[in-house]
Amino acid sequence: MASSEIEASGEMLKSCDVPFIPESSSVYDMAISTFSQVIFPDTPDFFPPEKDITVRYILAEIEPSTRDWVGLFRVGWASPRDYSTYVWAPKPIADESGNLSQTITFQAYQLPKDDNEFYQLCYVTRQGYVRGASTPFQFRLCTENDCLVEVEDESGMIILKTKSDALEEQLSKAKEERNALESEMKLLFQAKVLLEENLKKISEELAMAQEQNRVSEEKKADVVASMEKMTEEYEKVTHRLAKAEKRIEKTKADLASAQNNIKELQESMSSLQAQIVAAEQERLQEKINYEEEIKIREMMMLEKDVQMNVLREEIKTMSTIKEEIQQKSSLKVNEQESAFKVVTKENENLRVKCQSLKDERDLFKDQFTKSELARNEALKDKASLEEKLQYAIKDAEMQQEKVDAAEEKIKVVEKQWKELNKKHKIETNHVQDELRNSSERANALEAAKKLLTQELSDTTATRD
């Protein structure tokens, strides 16, 4: 009756809601099926027949599904299709230790009778892959012989104990080992926490050192850029200094040439002044001589005028005498006419000579006027040369001021360059010291990090 009920229920399950099992699924698909992902702890060797059985399982590395199931298989099964019966796997629950676990119950009518066959429970996913299997067990009552086990004592002798006593001893030893392992785990966990804190601290120090190293590198790059910029500025300043020196040399040459020109102008001025003085003296002497000659000629003209007046008086007298003589005698008239002609001729000669003296006087006046014009031109040339001399002196003074300013600027630039070079050397030494210190700290921190990582790995390996 019970067997028929089991077969009927099995047929009902298979016809109503059958688990999915792929056609190619078999016991040889172990390459993709892993039994360690679901564990069936505390599975006994015997289950009493014709009673409900409750089984607990733990999910380790699997994503559960509502279509997963737990099947009862006879040992020696070849495919998930060889199940005797099954129960759908409910949603797992996290226990106190944090593991996902669940408990299922097989009803008595689903289970086989006492047939001395070995069975095992298997966890099968919705894809039809076996992910866990229990230890084999039987459905029969436990006999006295089944409850006795052989145990080796401390002296090496084999003794018989009940299975419960042996299990209690094993449980006690397991608890002691568990307590020892828990204590060791606590110590290892504390050591791990301490090592992780040290590692975190060293990592922070390493990050800080790396940041300092990066900042130092940036400072170094800035200093190098500043050096390059200062070098470019120095080259520009040197180029400007070379140009300034060339301009100074040219200015000095121009100044020397201007000084030579000034000297030549001064010599020309001195010579011209000497010539002007000599010409002035000569002109004054000529003027004096001319004035004296004019005075002499005027005196001669006065004398000639006096003579002319005397001659005119004589002519008048002789005319009177002529008239008297004409009246007295014609012979005497002829004589008087001859004498008159002679006197007239002499008078004409005197008039011509007087005109010649007047022309000479006019010529002397023209020469005097030309001498005055030449004197004025010489004075103008002297003033122009004096003005050029003043301009040349001012230009020379300005060129000398430019030379002094350029030399002063050169001194200032050289002083600034020396200060910049000194500052650059100090900054370069400081940056090199910082880089060296940062590199040493980074190396020390890296070594400490490696040491702590090795210690942590050793601790983890020891714990495992």
Check residue 271 and give its pLDDT.
79
Task: Enumerate the CATH 2.60.40.2840 domain ranges in the chain, comma separated.
Answer: 2-142
Q: Above pLDDT 90, what percent of the chain?
A: 16
The residue among 31 and 140 whose pLDDT is bigger is 140
Q: How far apart are CA 32 and CA 55, in angstroms?
A: 25
Per-residue pLDDT band for 71 (boundaries 50, 70, 90) equals very high
Q: What is the pTM of this model?
A: 0.34
CATH of domain 2-142: 2.60.40.2840
User: Which of these, 134, 24, 32, 36, lies nearest to 80 by C-alpha position?
Assistant: 24
Angle formed at CA 436 by CA 435 and CA 442, multiple of 5 degrees: 85
Q: Could you tell me which CATH number the domain at 225-451 has?
A: 1.10.287
Amino acid at 230: M
d(CA 113, CA 48): 9
Phi-psi region at 137: left, alpha or beta (left = phi > 0; alpha = psi -120 to 50) = beta
Helices (H), 60-162: 144-147
CA 223/CA 113 separation, integer angstroms: 92
The span from the CA of 56 to the CA of 218, in Å, is 64
Query: Between residues 443 and 319, which one has the greater pLDDT?
Result: 443
pLDDT given for residue 332 in this prediction = 57
For 256-303, the pLDDT digits (tens) are: 887 787 788 778 777 777 877 787 788 788 778 877 877 887 788 787
pLDDT-derived band at 314, boundaries 50, 70, 90: confident
pLDDT at 239 over 80: yes
- Give start-end residues of each CATH 1.10.287 domain in the chain: 225-451
Mean pLDDT of the chain: 78
d(CA 328, CA 335): 13
